Structure 1
Amino acid sequence: MSTQADSKPWTVPALAQAKRDGRKLVMLTCYDHGFARTLDANGVDLILIGDSLGMVVQGHDSTLPVTVEDMVYHTRIVARGLQRALLVSDLSFQSDATPERALDAATRLLQAGAEMVKLEGAGHKLEVIRFLAERDIPVCSHLGLTPQSVLAFGGYRVQGREDAAAAKLLADAKAVVEAGASLLVLECVPSALAEKITAAVVVPTIGIGAGPHCDGQVLVLHDFLGLDSGHRRPKFVKDFLGEGGSVAGAVRAYAEAVRAGSFPAAEHSY
């Protein structure tokens, strides 16, 4: 269970301090009020309202159909269940296509209860990150396998295996942080590359299929509980429900494993 010291609400500056202190950050996705209360009470530091809801809640084949309205709705109901965890909400597909569109969507999400917004990619997104950060909207960047780019990628594949791709990912990571990102999610990236990126940037990195060397870890709630969402189970997933014996126990087991460095193990990494 959380100690009294751990019960203090998380803030964006506290995330940077956690990296400096070497404290691993625990993150899970969440989409409703009841799970939000359970995650918040059992050691989760950050909650992500991912556009993954399109696949695990709405039954779509990708995240592309998710709308800003969907994200605002889920942000509002999750926010009501939190006292401690910092709430991050995704900018849905093409809602961040221009700085002005991103500002409108991000404003709606923050007004619904989010404390940070997440967007995928670098390139032209650097202008968007800078635009939001200059307007005091905290930004989490997402690099590696970015699900909104699934059509361009031709599927869900590990990113950064080749030398040129790895060098570009490292450069992109430095660029998004320079543009103003306060947090960086790395998805489906080789462990050695994620370790290099984590050492190269001053903001915390959160891994999902990116090995044990990131500053924290995130899993999709339904994967973490071993629920069948109708999609292929990724290599980096571990079912914590069987180990924990209950949802609350699973959350505690996951939090303890992340902080101890026992998850992800080699079998969960690339």
Structure 2
Amino acid sequence: MNIRQIINSKGKRKLSMVTAYSYFQAKMAEEAGIDMMLVGDSYGNTILGYENTLPVTMEEMLIAVSAVRRGAPNTFVIADMPFLSYQVSEEKAIENAGRFIKVGANAVKLEGGAEVAGLVKKLVDFGIPVMGHLGLTPQHVNVIGGYRVQGKTDKSVKRLLEGVKLLEEAGVFAIVLELVVEGIAKKLTEETSVPTIGIGAGRYCDGQVLVWHDLLGINTEFSPRFVKRYANLRKDIVDALKKYNEEVKNGEFPGPENVFESGGFDE
């Protein structure tokens, strides 16, 4: 899938997107036919164990993006620009976005509306595709006072409508809408010509994205209403590890089928 196909999908079919942070995650998502993979700064929460996304660095994200590209050579990959990788200056933002493209990303994603529209235009003008992100913007968590649903007040709706318009004019190819009241997300989707990708934004967006660890039931400590668990892998993984632990301690593993009989290294 490419930029043109993503844009042209609007009104014709829904887009699927999932986060991915490693080679095998990407490999499996590509095998499943997922349209797009987001190497999200949620890498900080899900892989590195940070409290939120703010500590994630460019160096950490570059490792994840390059691993995902190796695992999914044929899938559209978006790199999340981490906190302070694009806010300091336009020059730094362009440099960092370019680093993601060089290691295999097809596009970058950054948070915000009016405050980033000028930067988005610059990036697009320089040949770097950009996905927007409105609604709950996790990098602003300290300003907005937590993870709150957006679009509940006239002021919030006005800001969202303005943001969608400005991002579209700046040249984004799609916009993530996170934790937005469903009716407002529907209105935003109808008022823009680019696809909207919802996460906690209801049924009327042009596509959906979920975090790998949430949809597979690995992160059971986080259970927001908008997440649907398609598996319960945490239990399966813990059960497998328990079984391994028991077999090692009781001498059952390794068994005869797991050892080499000859003195050399031949099969």
Is the TM-score greater than 0.5?
A: yes
Of 184, 196, 200 in structure 2, the residue corresponding to residue 209 of structure 1 is 200
- Aligned AA for 1:112? V
Q: Provide the C-alpha distance between the structure 2 equivalents of 1:59 and 1:242, rounded to a whole number of angstroms.
A: 20
SS at the partner of 1:19? coil
Say whether 1:170 aligns with 2:170: no
Q: Provide the C-alpha distance between the structure 1 equivalents of 2:92 and 2:52, rounded to a whole number of angstroms.
A: 22
Please state how far the C-alpha of 1:48 moved relative to its aligned partner.
Answer: 0.2
Of 221-230 and 139-148, more deviation after overlay is shown by 221-230
SS at the partner of 1:100? helix
SS at the partner of 2:99? helix
Please tell me whether the aligned partners of residues 55 and 229 of structure 1 are also in contact (alpha carbons under 8 angstroms): no
1:29 alignment partner in structure 2: 19
1:35-74 equivalences in 2 (<5 Å): 35-74=25-64
SS at the partner of 1:175? helix
Please state how far the C-alpha of 1:71 moved relative to its aligned partner.
Answer: 0.9
More relative contact order, 1 or 2 (CA 8 Å, 6+ apart) = 1
- TM-score, reference length from structure 1: 0.84
* Count of aligned positions: 234
C-alpha distance after superposition, 1:44-71 (max 9, x if no partner): 0000000001011111111000011111
Please tell me whether the aligned partners of residues 113 and 162 of structure 2 are also in contact (alpha carbons under 8 angstroms): no
Please state how far the C-alpha of 1:84 moved relative to its aligned partner.
Answer: 3.0
- TM-score, reference length from structure 2: 0.85
Q: Provide the C-alpha distance between the structure 2 equivalents of 1:155 and 1:168, rounded to a whole number of angstroms.
A: 18
Moved over 3 A (4+): none
Q: Provide the C-alpha distance between the structure 2 equivalents of 1:228 and 1:82, rounded to a whole number of angstroms.
A: 23
Show structure 1 runs of 5+ residues with no match. 1-9, 247-270
C-alpha distance after superposition, 1:220-239 (max 9, x if no partner): 00001111265x32211011
Please state how far the C-alpha of 1:40 moved relative to its aligned partner.
Answer: 0.4
Q: Percent identity?
A: 42
Structure showing greater Rg: 2
Please state how far the C-alpha of 1:36 moved relative to its aligned partner.
Answer: 0.5
1:267 alignment partner in structure 2: none
Say whether 1:237 aligns with 2:223: no
Please tell me whether the aligned partners of residues 99 and 127 of structure 1 are also in contact (alpha carbons under 8 angstroms): no
2:116 alignment partner in structure 1: 125
SS at the partner of 1:213? coil
Of 88, 99, 103 in structure 1, the residue corresponding to residue 90 of structure 2 is 99
Show structure 2 runs of 5+ residues with no match. 237-267
2:251 alignment partner in structure 1: none
1:134-213 equivalences in 2 (<5 Å): 134-213=125-204
Please tell me whether the aligned partners of residues 56 and 229 of structure 1 are also in contact (alpha carbons under 8 angstroms): no
Q: Provide the C-alpha distance between the structure 1 equivalents of 2:232 and 2:171, rounded to a whole number of angstroms.
A: 40
Q: Provide the C-alpha distance between the structure 2 equivalents of 1:94 and 1:222, rounded to a whole number of angstroms.
A: 25
2:70 alignment partner in structure 1: 80
- Aligned AA for 1:193? I
Say whether 1:114 aligns with 2:118: no
C-alpha distance after superposition, 1:95-134 (max 9, x if no partner): 1112211111111000010000000001221111011011
- Aligned AA for 1:174? K
